[in-house]
Amino acid sequence: MFEFRFSSLLKALLLFTCILGGCEYLSRLDKLKAELAELKTRSDTVRETAELRRQEWNELKTAKGKLDQVEARMAETLRQRDILDIQDRKLTSEVKYWADSMAAAVENTRASAIGTVIPELRLPGRAALYNAKIFKITDDSISFLHEDGVANLHVKTDELPMEFVHKYDLGPKSIHAGLQRLIGELSPPAPSKPDASGKSVGM
Amino acid sequence: MKPPLLSCCLALCLASVSCERHVELKREIAALDAAIKRDEAAIGQYEKDIAALGGSEALSRIVEQAQIKDEQLRPLAFVNAPRERRLKSIETEFAKLKPAAEAFKAAQPK
């Protein structure tokens, strides 16, 4: 006669479930391990690529930073050069104006002095000149006609009284000579200068 | 304890251990996945930045440009400083001469 043995069936079922569960567990474990290994490989590759890109970017950034710095310095230098150009032009025109104006004034003063008679001209270390008449004034001397003949008095040897030196703007320290010297200093031979694009431009 | 109950307990223990192992692996996978995504995002950003500067081949061009500009800059900077000093000295000299010239002109006969 058939007898139902519950405990044996349960044991068999349990055993079957355990085997199935074990298989499923191992299968899923394998899948996860494979996925993990693949991800690790991919992660290494991606990290290496990222590192390469980072290095590339850093090099580019450094080079660009240097270029920007040089360009900024270049712009500043060109700006300074433009300011100096403006300053130079302004100063040159002003000095030229005053030099021309002074030249005319000096010429006028000297011309109007021709023929002036000085009753007594006392000179250091020399005999006094009487009724000295101015007949020529140059940049560093005045020629007089006087009772005893002709006297040509020079500024350089300090023969002329300072009053005349100032009045007729004579000598190397004269205002007119100073202005002319400044014009000479303002117009030195111009060097060729590169523009912003780097081409050489003659002035 | 009866054997069926013991078996049940054993099975539950095994199931719990296996689940825990899976969870650990999944966590590792998720962490790796996140790291990959982060690196990929960084690569994308770097590539975008590199492209904005003209691409990988722009490096040599930029370096060359910087060298050229540097070479242009040197003589310019060398010229500006002495020129500024020269103008300053002329300006000072002119500032002395101008009042003297004005006085001379004012004193000249009309």
Instruction: Quick: pLDDT tens for B19-47.
Output: 777 888 899 999 999 999 999 999 999 99
Specify the higher pLDDT residue, A178 or A193. Answer: A178
CB nearest B68 (choices: A112, A193, A198): A198
CB nearest B22 (choices: A28, A106, A198): A28
The pLDDT of residue A202 is 39
Strands A129-137 vs A117-121: parallel, antiparallel or unpaired = antiparallel
Query: A36 contacts in B (CB within 8 Å)?
Result: 25, 28-29, 32
For residues B70-83, give the mean pLDDT. 87
The pLDDT of residue B27 is 92
Task: Extract the tokens encoding A119.
Answer: 């009753």
Rounded Cα distance between A22 and A4, Å, is: 28
pLDDT interval class at A106 (50, 70, 90)? very high
Cβ-contact B40, A53 below 8 angstroms: no
Q: In a mutagenesis test of the B interface, which of A67, A181, A203 is the best target, namely the one with the most B β-carbons within 10 Å? A: A67
Average pLDDT, chain A: 84
Identity of the residue numbered A42 = R
In DSSP terms, A105 is beta-bridged to none
Total beta-carbon pairs less than 8 A apart between chain A and chain B: 174
pLDDT interval class at B3 (50, 70, 90)? low
Cβ-contact A166, A85 below 8 angstroms: no
Distances (CA, A) of A170 to A104, A153, A164: 14, 11, 8
Q: What is the pLDDT of residues A44-70, one digit of tens each?
A: 999 999 999 999 999 999 999 999 999
The pLDDT of residue B2 is 62
The pLDDT of residue B46 is 92
pLDDT interval class at A2 (50, 70, 90)? low
Range 12-31 of B in CB contact (< 8 A) with A: 14-15, 18, 21-22, 25-26, 28-29
Query: A77 contacts in B (CB within 8 Å)?
Result: 73, 76-77, 80
Task: Extract the tokens encoding A13.
Answer: 């079922």
Query: A179 contacts in B (CB within 8 Å)?
Result: 94, 97, 101
Query: A163 contacts in B (CB within 8 Å)?
Result: none
Angle between helices A6-113 and B3-52 (to 10 degrees): 20
CA nearest neighbour of A172 among A143, A140, A200 = A140
- Out of A23-27, A123-127, B58-62, pick the least confident: A123-127
Residue B37 touches partner A, C-beta closer than 8 Å: no
Identity of the residue numbered B80 = N
Distance from CA of B27 to the nearest CA of A (A): 10
Cβ-defined contact of A39 to B29 (cutoff 8 Å)? yes
Q: What's the complex ipTM?
A: 0.72
Quick one: which H or E segment has residue B10? helix B3-52
Of A184-198, B18-32, B86-100, give the range with the top mean pLDDT.
Answer: B86-100
Task: Extract the tokens encoding A79.
Answer: 């700006």
Supply the DSSP symbol for A148.
Answer: T
Cβ-contact A128, A121 below 8 angstroms: yes
CB nearest A175 (choices: B4, B76, B100): B100
The pLDDT of residue A78 is 92
Specify the higher pLDDT residue, B20 or A104. Answer: A104
Rounded Cα distance between A14 and A20, Å, is: 10
The total of other beta-carbon atoms located within 10 Å of residue B39's CB is 20
Considering the entire predicted model, what is its pTM? 0.67
Region for B42 from its dihedrals, namely left if φ exceeds 0, alpha if ψ lies in -120 to 50, beta otherwise: alpha
Cβ-defined contact of A29 to B21 (cutoff 8 Å)? yes
Q: Which residue has the tokens 């031979």?
A: A189
Rounded Cα distance between A194 and A198, Å, is: 5
Domain ranges of chain A: 50-188
Cβ-defined contact of A198 to B87 (cutoff 8 Å)? no
Task: Extract the tokens encoding B7.
Answer: 């078996």
Identity of the residue numbered A89 = R
Rounded Cα distance between B46 and A60, Å, is: 11
Cβ-defined contact of B50 to A28 (cutoff 8 Å)? no
Q: What percent of chain B has pLDDT over 90?
A: 47
